[in-house]
Amino acid sequence: MFAALVAAPSLVAAGFAILFLVGSNLVVVLIAIALWGIGLAATVVIYQQTILLTGRKAPETATSIGVLLAQAGFAAGSTVGGATITFLGVAAIPLVALAFVIGSIIIATSLRRIINQASEDVQAS
């Protein structure tokens, strides 16, 4: 579970990095967007599974927290995206988004022990 929690957003990060570095070639842009999309779809599923794993004693609460965090992320992303376009221009969006994705990977990495313990608890029961 932990490896997937890091690997999925890493695909998103790769897509953003490629968009930022080589965003003028259509074929490269399409590949970057594909990586971004695959990584994002996987990330949503992995995050939900992780939330349910770590909150298995109260799955309804865990799911509610997951939805709340997702909605807060959508709002924050829209706000940061709008501010990025206003102050830095549209070309800076992949770089700013990359910073946030790297932040999520760092947070996931800091939760390794908790996730591994939850996985062990599930296997033991």
The string of pLDDT tens digits covering residues 47-100 is: 999 999 999 999 999 999 999 999 999 999 999 999 999 999 999 999 999 999
Q: Average per-residue pLDDT in the chain? A: 94
Task: Output the pLDDT for position 82.
Answer: 97
pLDDT at 9 over 90: yes
The reported pLDDT for the residue numbered 38 is 97
User: How far is residue 8's CA from residue 15's CA, in Å, rounded to a whole number?
Assistant: 11
Q: Which helix (H) or strand (E) holds 105?
A: helix 93-110
pLDDT of residue 86: 98
Instruction: Name every residue whose Cβ is closer than 8 Å to that of residue 59 and which is 6 or more positions away in sequence.
Output: 52
Name the residue ranges covered by the structural domains of the chain: 2-124
Radius of gyration, alpha carbons of the chain: 16
Task: Give the mean pLDDT of 97-117.
Answer: 95
pLDDT of residue 114: 94
CA-based max dimension of the chain: 53
Determine the pLDDT at residue 125: 82
